[in-house]
Amino acid sequence: MTTTVDHPTQEARAARGKAVRGEVPRDRHAEWSSDQRKLEPLDLLAEQALTRVPELVPIRYGRMAASPFAYYRGAALPMAADLSTGPRTSLDVQLCGDAHLSNFGGFASPERDLLFDVNDFDETSPGPFEWDLKRLGASLEIAARNRNFPARTGFKLVTGSMRAYREAMHEFSKMSNLEVWYSRLDMAGVAQRWGSEVSSDVLAGFQKTAAKAESKDQLKARAKLTEVVDGELRFQSDPPLLVPVSELYSDRDASQIKDMIHEGLRSYRETLIGDRRHLLESYELVDVARKVVGVGSVGTRAWVALFEGNDPDDTLILQMKEAEASVLERFCTKSAFNNHGQRVVEGQRFMQAASDIFLGWHRVPVGMDGNSHDYYFRQLWDWKVSADVDNMPPETLLIYAKMCGWTMARAHSRSGDRVAIASYLGSGDAFDRAIADFAVAYADQNALDHQALVDAIADGSVEATLGV
């Protein structure tokens, strides 16, 4: 069956964006009230826990309880449920699904350039463009409160980020399709776009972060995570955060897990293009460990695999991370892929300017728990670094917020109708201010939700492991 692709004119696309204003006025995006909530956050978190590794779930709760911002990082599903009850445009894009400010950062392109981009796609799925912006905007407001910044600072962070998105979307709407596809943000681009707005100290801080990113590579991963045992390189033991498979299971079960990983590698490598498959096959698997990652992801099955190439100094560490259904799926569109690992990979390729050369997916038909699980693969570290938002001065955080806004616009432009979105947003700041107002209201809600989790831990109804 042949699929017909429509190619509307620029004028028709712009008219569509303006028409959507009539369906969902821009000022309506400011709306949030707990009265519209249909699903309770703690119930949703408990629902997610049912499919996760039981002994790791208390770590997730403990990490989320650390602060309102930490709670927000782990509460992608509760927020998706809340967003589904509010105003919603028909301007769909490939969403990140968890676009808080800590899910942006630096990483290496295949050409070994340091790029700034979105770096977490576990929840990626199609949906209304504004959902990513509400997630980002609220995270900036919550981060500002976490730092005890004045209310005015939070407002400037959110509106600055949204203005950067809006102006970038107008820029992209005038570009050719190929120009949009090749657009990326590197350190030179940061200096060119925002250098005149900041002091030399701020730019020096970004350059220092860039230098730090370039040192966070496979060599550093090997130095931090491995040790020599009986003359052979193996993963260190640091339970519960990093546990070699030989410690998790009996000899027989550990051997079975390794066989599953081997089988998974054979399936996964078929998702790589030929030259990268050849490169992967030049490495030999030598060890496997379970690794706890992130905040919201804690409890999902995540493994690291250690490979050796020409000699013990030629190593590769891949992360094999479970991919469950996106938190957006029940509220938006069901995934077009029958493997959620593929959903993550395809979404990442859609949204990122450049992606890891080892990005791929596979399914373990039957795991140790008797269930099948979808996974995606990537390098564990490849110049990856996240900004230290807990210590950024307001001036630096504002530029970071603008970088996030620009990056989100570039990502959305690759999959959505950038002309219609730009037309919907317009040239004024109505949308920017609406998201800022939403961010204030939702940050208030988030503080209450965080306290509800803290109270549930205190009264024993939720088990949590603190400080891990």
Span 255-306, pLDDT tens digits: 877 787 788 888 899 999 999 999 999 999 999 999 998 999 999 999 999 9
CB 120 within 8 A of CB 96: yes
Banded pLDDT at 380 (limits 50, 70, 90): confident
Predicted confidence at residue 366, as pLDDT, reads 61
Banded pLDDT at 212 (limits 50, 70, 90): low
> Residue 215 pLDDT > 60, yes or no?
no
First vs last C-alpha separation in the chain = 53
Predicted confidence at residue 299, as pLDDT, reads 95
> Residue 188 pLDDT > 90, yes or no?
no
Banded pLDDT at 364 (limits 50, 70, 90): confident
Predicted confidence at residue 214, as pLDDT, reads 58
Predicted confidence at residue 37, as pLDDT, reads 97
pLDDT tens, position by position, 143-156:
999 999 999 999 99
Domain boundaries, the chain: 10-215+390-458, 218-379
CB 387 within 8 A of CB 104: yes
- Using alpha carbons, select from 127, 82, 75 the residue that is nearest to residue 347: 127
CB 323 within 8 A of CB 153: no
3-state secondary structure the chain: CCCCCCCCCHHHHHHHHHHHHHHCCHHHHHCCCHHHCCCCHHHHHHHHHCCCCHHHHHHHHHHHCCCHHHHHHHCHHHHHHHHCCCCCCCCEEEECCCCCHHHEEEEECCCCCEEEEECCCCCCEEEEHHHHHHHHHHHHHHHHHHCCCCHHHHHHHHHHHHHHHHHHHHHHHCCCHHHHHHCCCEHHHHHHHHHHHCCHHHHHHHHHHHHHHHHCCHHHHHHHHEEEECCEEEECCECCCEEEHHHHCCHHHHHHHHHHHHHHHHHHHCCCCHHHHHHHHCCEEEEEEEECCCCCCECECEEEEEEECCCCCCEEEEEEEECCCCCCCCCCCCCCCCCHHHHHHHHHHHHCCCCCCCCEEEEECCCCCCCCEEEEEEECCCCCECCCCCCCCHHHHHHHHHHHHHHHHHHHHHHCCHHHHHHHHCCCCHHHHHHHHHHHHHHHHHHHHHHHHHHHHHCCCCCCCCCC
Residue type, 276: R
Give the dihedral sign, CA 435/441/445/450. positive
pLDDT tens, position by position, 93-124:
999 999 999 999 887 777 778 889 999 999 99
Give dist(CA 354, CA 111) in Å, integer.
9
Give dist(CA 282, CA 442) in Å, integer.
50
Give dist(CA 108, CA 187) in Å, integer.
12
Banded pLDDT at 253 (limits 50, 70, 90): confident
Q: Regarding predicted confidence, which is higher, 390 or 72?
A: 72
- Using alpha carbons, select from 219, 227, 183, 187 the residue that is nearest to residue 382: 219
The pair of structure tokens assigned to 233 is 């390189």
Residue 318: CB atoms within 10 A of its CB come to 23
Predicted confidence at residue 108, as pLDDT, reads 74
Predicted confidence at residue 140, as pLDDT, reads 98
**Residue 377 half-sphere exposure, CB side, CA atoms within 13 Å?**
27
Q: Give the mean model confidence (pLDDT) for residues 168-181.
A: 97
Average pLDDT value over all residues in the chain: 92
| Residue whose tokens read 């949308």 | 431
pLDDT tens, position by position, 441-467:
999 999 999 999 999 999 999 999 999
Q: Give the mean model confidence (pLDDT) for residues 351-374.
A: 86
Give dist(CA 257, CA 296) in Å, integer.
25
Give dist(CA 203, CA 208) in Å, integer.
9
Mark 219-243 as b/e (b = at least 16 C-beta within 10 Å). Answer: eebbeebbeeeeeebbbeeeeeebb
CB 352 within 8 A of CB 118: yes
